[in-house]
Amino acid sequence: MLISIKKRLLLFFIAIFFFLGIFFVGFSFKMDESFSKELSKNFINQIRDIDEFGIFFNNLKIALVMFIPVIGIIMGTISGFSTGLVFNSIMDVSGPTSYTNPLIIFLTPFGILELLSYGLAISRGGILFFELIKRKFTKKSLIYLLVEVALVGIMLLAGAIIEWTMIENIPRKI
């Protein structure tokens, strides 16, 4: 079952807004100070020795699961919520800032690429679900799936390189 480009774009944008909404819910979740500090500390420890390839493979694993029908939506929900939660805890621990809109992260080049990748993966997982249910999965469907997996991989690799470059160029206090 091949869908029109309009329906494909609609599903893509629905998936993006779904991810953003879940991220915002995670960011808005109220935590006590000790949990917030512990979450931030665990996140910092987890990324301490990561490089651009570590970022890429972490994001790719998440995105590939998002392509799986039904499980992909669950993974998108977990990923969006936990990312918002971590962002919330980092903002809490770093103290009051003049601009704390959580969606600012998605205005960075790597944030845009990750958001597009996750939207593509979640929406393709939804399409795949309906194709399998209706027994309309064709060779052409497989080609579209493989092309979108490749696009997600390319976008996430570019995003990881950009993110790592930005991290490496953060001024360090002496």
The C-alpha atoms of residue 154 and residue 168 are separated, in whole angstroms, by 21
What is the chain's percent helix, strand, coil content, to nearest 5? Answer: 80, 0, 20
Confidence band, pLDDT 50/70/90 cuts, at residue 174: very low
Contact 139, 80 (CB under 8 A): no
pLDDT tens readout for residues 73-108: 999 999 999 999 988 888 777 666 555 677 888 889
Average pLDDT, rounded, for the chain: 89
Positive or negative torsion for Cα 125, 131, 137, 141: negative
pTM listed for this prediction? 0.89
